[in-house]
Structure 1
Amino acid sequence: MAEHLCAVDVGTGSARAGIFDRGGTLMGRAERPIAMNRSAEGHAEHDSEDIWAAACAAVRAARDAAGIAPGDVAGISFDATCSTVFRGKDGEQISVSSDGDDRWDTIVWLDHRALAEADECTATRHEVLNYVGGVMSPEMATPKLMWVKRNLPGSWARTGRLFDLADFLTHKASGSLARSQCTLAAKWTYLAHEREGWRHDFFAAVGLADVFDHAALPARASPVGSDLGPLTRDAAAALGLTTSCRVGAGLIDAFAGALGVIGGRPGIERHLALIAGTSSCLMAMSAEPRAFAGVWGPYYGAALPDLWLSEGGQSATGALLDHVIRWHGAGGEPDAAMHRRITDRIMQLRAAEGLDLAGRLHVLPDFHGNRSPLADPHAVGVISGLTLDASFDSLCRLYWRTAVAIALGIRHVLEALNANGYGIDTLHVTGGHTRNPLLMELYADATGCTVVEPMGSDAVLLGTAMAAAAAAGLYPGLEAACAGMRQEGRARRPNEAARPRFDRDYRVFLEMHRQRRALDAIG
């Protein structure tokens, strides 16, 4: 009997695939790059066929690395960024790029072209906003659709199918037009807890009364991990698998990470998943809905059945550290070697100066808006305390204080969550930040929480493998798959001696927010 699972994770710059056994052990992993087009300022597009090809190549390589046969894989599922794919009525690619090239048919999650449209959605004060923190983000689907309809009417007229990227991939794999409850609830204003999930009056209010004529959206969403059917013959050949492999309803990448690190844990309301890479997502779950401004959700069943999920986030974290390196005169290309060089030097400087290193240098990290807890996509970053020093050490000091600011931003979100009914004291961190020792230390010391780093596997891929396991019937349901495949982690407790330093920094952090608002008011 086939008892292996395949998980595909599509991020901002690559597609990754992992092969797992039914106990959650990662047996083989591979990664392939994907293309991005920057057609205008604030615009970013993918080619969905390029993404599918990269996913297929990664799956074939991961299976080879695992040393298993195609027929050994019982189930597959996909997670992806919340990017939006435009297709024609016959499945052809539809351009969302100002250059008109149909290859670029996908608006990337980080694309902020639809800021004005997001503000219009917020101005409606419609009920659906109660489940997105009260403010519509340009990273969600509705503003992006509005922008395309207004600015690319020819593309809109040709559009017959719209997908969140994870749903596009399950469609390519299975042929099913089903959509995941995760993607629709989190990004498409679908109210999964209601008998009628779609609010047609909301779409009419923002000029999208015809969206259902262009999107091929289902009346009901499919729960994460539900069986969408077998791989098609073409998909099986492309992926190097067989048509006996079942396809599970997928999820957004951060939600997969949440499943991978806190799915199946008792006392789940004490645990928070921090999925941290280019941006950072913070996922908390509860048995009852907790709606409040500045945190997306609550979403019903967006990860686990019968649980509500609240999502906080920072729109640029790893991307912000990369930006600091590129921006500074002593910087350059922000590759892994440069990050290590800077980190090593910071460790040396701290050995001499302690936690007070660059103590008068303060950063407000909202260079790409504030997703949580202020829900202000127009927010901007601030740096206070610069001098004429342009040396490599000055870059290191700025990098260190930017990392401190990122950790203080996590503390800001945590305080909002805990003020609204959560009792979070443990952070489970997954993603690229686990490779940055400064951030991992700061997440504990600046927040006062225990930080758990997963061991032995990629937690985002693991969460997606859990969905595949449920679809394949290796477990009786998604919750059982989470419990059966969960991997333990390494815990780091906060350094109490560091608390006074970061308490002072946090007071400055909050004051900088206040002063920025005051400056904006003057302007």
Structure 2
Amino acid sequence: MLFGAVDVGSACVRAGLFAPDGRLLARASRGFSLIPGPDGQAGHDFAEIWQGVADALAEARRMAGAAPSQLRALAFDATCSLVVDAPGFAPDVIAWHDHRALAEAAELGRIAHEVVARAGGSVSPEMQTPKLMWLARRRPETWAALRGIRDLCDQLAWRATGIEARSLCAAAAKWPWLPDRGGWQRDLMRRVGIDGFPRPGKVLAPGDRIGCLSERGAAELGLDRDTVVAAGLIDAFAGALGAAPDMPALIAGTSNCVMARDVPRRPGLWGPYPGAILSGEAVTEGGQSATGAVLEAIRRLYPGPQTHDAILARIARAPDGRAGDLPEDLHVLPDFKGNRAPFADPLMRGVIHGLPLDRDIPALDRLYWRAAVGIALGTRQVIGHMGLQPHALAMAGGQARAGLMRQLYADTTGAEIHWQPEDAVLRGSAIAAAAPLMGGIRAARAAFARPVQVTRPDPGRRAARERDWRIFLRMQQHRDEIAGM
């Protein structure tokens, strides 16, 4: 008996196969395209994503030597991208980081409503509600012809099963749906003109059974019809579920998200979202937009092919023998795609101080590292804004795979970093997949628990990171002063 997990990020699909004891047996990935557009628009082609899902699952099965009949259950996690099923609307996936709905988000943020309060009091254009408003107002012909409109994780499950259902995780965190206030907030939806979109089917908690694969889904995925599909999660929430329990989780991938329970409401924090991961618990998210995307943009500046692993390996071999301690007169505020927390300003932009004209590999390595330091400092600020003083953070996501990055976050936040080497995001989706067959999501989480690696702060680097922190705060003050001019 095996459990399948599919994670759809910002640029690739990853599929993993897990044993009942939580061992990751195989993992495969397939890339897909980003389709840019004007005015902050960005999209994907769902058909390309779905083909990537099928190919990655097939490759993972091949690597594990697993027959289709061995895969008993499957769950999907994904970015909170919006899939628009309507004739002629292309690209049919509005990417999570698409900012076309800036005006609608600002308008929504001025309304006194619990949906707005749980979005931090200043609604991000990355949420689904302002994107729905944009569609209804700017594309009325599309709005009138909608066959369906779903979060990406829900679209994947629907394509696999043919059954309409929504993940409580996505509905509570991104849509005008409140689990403890009667569900769909029709008063707000009527007020902003979006009450008419199709929303059939139940809203299911992560790990609840949706149903088995449809004939079409089974054929497209190369699996048996009796494979169970469970309700999934947004990717960051899946990472929090799969990471070390009983501590805040830092999901550091395309964006950075700090997920924690029992966090008081503050501006710029998203939540609390009851039941978004586990029933009986409410999770709050403090985030930074496009952090991994900043590092990816720098990687693309190199004169030849480079991988993130290769760049970080060079940085770790710094000539003075102190990994990552490159000269520190270069400083970066990483808000190139706006700021979620603590400022809740999607129009805020990044700042680089001390940038020379050099574009050789050592200079780009230095820029890469100092951008990473700026991102880690932003994470420290988010943690403080959430009122947390954690002794330990569970870390997941692509940035966590590098030991140098885990050390950076430990040194910058002062917390131990607990890392699950076998991919916490895929593990979270596998836990959701296993839940219907293992007595529920908590039982599946316990069964899937694996040893973690612990990275402790290095006292020798504390002075450098504290200097960086003071400069980081002063640069933010300067940015505010300049904006005021």
Q: TM-score, normalised by structure 1?
A: 0.88
Unmatched segments (≥5 aa) in structure 1: 96-101
| 1:273 pairs with 2:249 | yes
Partner residue, 1:30: 28
Match of 2:188 among 191, 202, 206: 202
Matched residue of 1:251: which SS?
strand
Partner residue, 1:285: 261
* 1:217, distance to aligned residue in structure 2 (A): 4.4
Measure the CA separation in 2 of the matches of 1:392 and 1:4. 44
Q: How does 1:256-405 map to 2 (within 5 A)?
A: 256-262=238-244, 265=245, 268=246, 271-286=247-262, 290-327=264-301, 331-332=302-303, 335-336=306-307, 339-349=308-318, 351=320, 357-405=326-374
Partner residue, 1:470: 435
Matched residue of 1:221: which SS?
strand
For structure 1, which segment, 220-229 or 246-255, has the greater mean C-alpha deviation from structure 2 after superposition? 220-229
Give, as a single letter, the amino acid of the residue that structure 2 aligns with 1:199.
Q
* 1:334, distance to aligned residue in structure 2 (A): 6.5
Distance change (3 Å), C-alpha of 1:37 and 1:127:
same
Distance change (3 Å), C-alpha of 1:426 and 1:154:
same
Match of 2:41 among 40, 43, 50: 43
User: Do the aligned partners of 1:94 and 1:158 also contact (CA within 8 Å) in 2?
Assistant: no
Q: How does 1:47-446 map to 2 (within 5 A)?
A: 47-88=45-86, 94-95=88-89, 102=90, 104-194=91-181, 196-208=182-194, 210=195, 213-218=196-201, 221-262=203-244, 265=245, 268=246, 271-286=247-262, 290-327=264-301, 331-332=302-303, 335-336=306-307, 339-349=308-318, 351=320, 357-417=326-386, 419=387, 422-446=388-412
Measure the CA separation in 2 of the matches of 1:354 and 1:484. 37
Distance change (3 Å), C-alpha of 1:167 and 1:323:
same
Partner residue, 1:98: none
Measure the CA separation in 2 of the matches of 1:24 and 1:283. 22
Matched residue of 2:254: which SS?
coil
Matched residue of 1:179: which SS?
strand
Distance change (3 Å), C-alpha of 1:349 and 1:458:
closer
Distance change (3 Å), C-alpha of 1:348 and 1:228:
closer
User: Do the aligned partners of 2:268 and 2:344 also contact (CA within 8 Å) in 1?
Assistant: yes
* 1:26, distance to aligned residue in structure 2 (A): 1.2
Measure the CA separation in 2 of the matches of 1:294 and 1:495. 31
Measure the CA separation in 1 of the matches of 2:94 and 2:179. 24
User: Do the aligned partners of 1:163 and 1:215 also contact (CA within 8 Å) in 2?
Assistant: no
Partner residue, 2:469: 506
Matched residue of 2:265: which SS?
coil
Deviations 1:142-191 (A, max 9, x none): 11111222222221221131100000111111121110100000100311
Measure the CA separation in 2 of the matches of 1:146 and 1:319. 27
Measure the CA separation in 1 of the matches of 2:29 and 2:311. 26
Measure the CA separation in 2 of the matches of 1:383 and 1:152. 38
Distance change (3 Å), C-alpha of 1:334 and 1:244:
same
Distance change (3 Å), C-alpha of 1:497 and 1:222:
same
Matched residue of 2:184: which SS?
coil
Give, as a single letter, the amino acid of the residue that structure 2 aligns with 1:243.
R
For structure 1, which segment, 5-14 or 51-60, has the greater mean C-alpha deviation from structure 2 after superposition? 51-60
Partner residue, 2:424: 459
Partner residue, 2:12: 14
Deviations 1:418-467 (A, max 9, x none): x2xx4422122222112334322210111101012212x22111110111
* 1:9, distance to aligned residue in structure 2 (A): 0.9
Matched residue of 2:379: which SS?
helix
Measure the CA separation in 2 of the matches of 1:356 and 1:22. 42
Matched residue of 2:419: which SS?
strand
Number of aligned positions between the proteins = 485
Distance change (3 Å), C-alpha of 1:458 and 1:355:
closer
Deviations 1:297-338 (A, max 9, x none): 1111101111111112211222112223445xxx346641xx
* 1:350, distance to aligned residue in structure 2 (A): 5.6
Distance change (3 Å), C-alpha of 1:7 and 1:154:
same
* 1:34, distance to aligned residue in structure 2 (A): 1.9
Q: TM-score, normalised by structure 2?
A: 0.95
Matched residue of 2:295: which SS?
helix
User: Do the aligned partners of 1:355 and 1:501 also contact (CA within 8 Å) in 2?
Assistant: no
Matched residue of 1:351: which SS?
coil
Measure the CA separation in 1 of the matches of 2:115 and 2:255. 25
Measure the CA separation in 2 of the matches of 1:411 and 1:334. 32
Give, as a single letter, the amino acid of the residue that structure 2 aligns with 1:301.
G
Partner residue, 1:99: none
User: Do the aligned partners of 1:358 and 1:401 also contact (CA within 8 Å) in 2?
Assistant: no
Measure the CA separation in 2 of the matches of 1:372 and 1:318. 16
User: Do the aligned partners of 2:315 and 2:324 also contact (CA within 8 Å) in 1?
Assistant: no
| Identical residues among aligned pairs (%) | 44
* 1:49, distance to aligned residue in structure 2 (A): 2.0
Measure the CA separation in 2 of the matches of 1:354 and 1:487. 29
* 1:495, distance to aligned residue in structure 2 (A): 0.6
User: Do the aligned partners of 2:407 and 2:456 also contact (CA within 8 Å) in 1?
Assistant: no
| 1:487 pairs with 2:474 | no
Alignment RMSD (CA, Å):
2.0
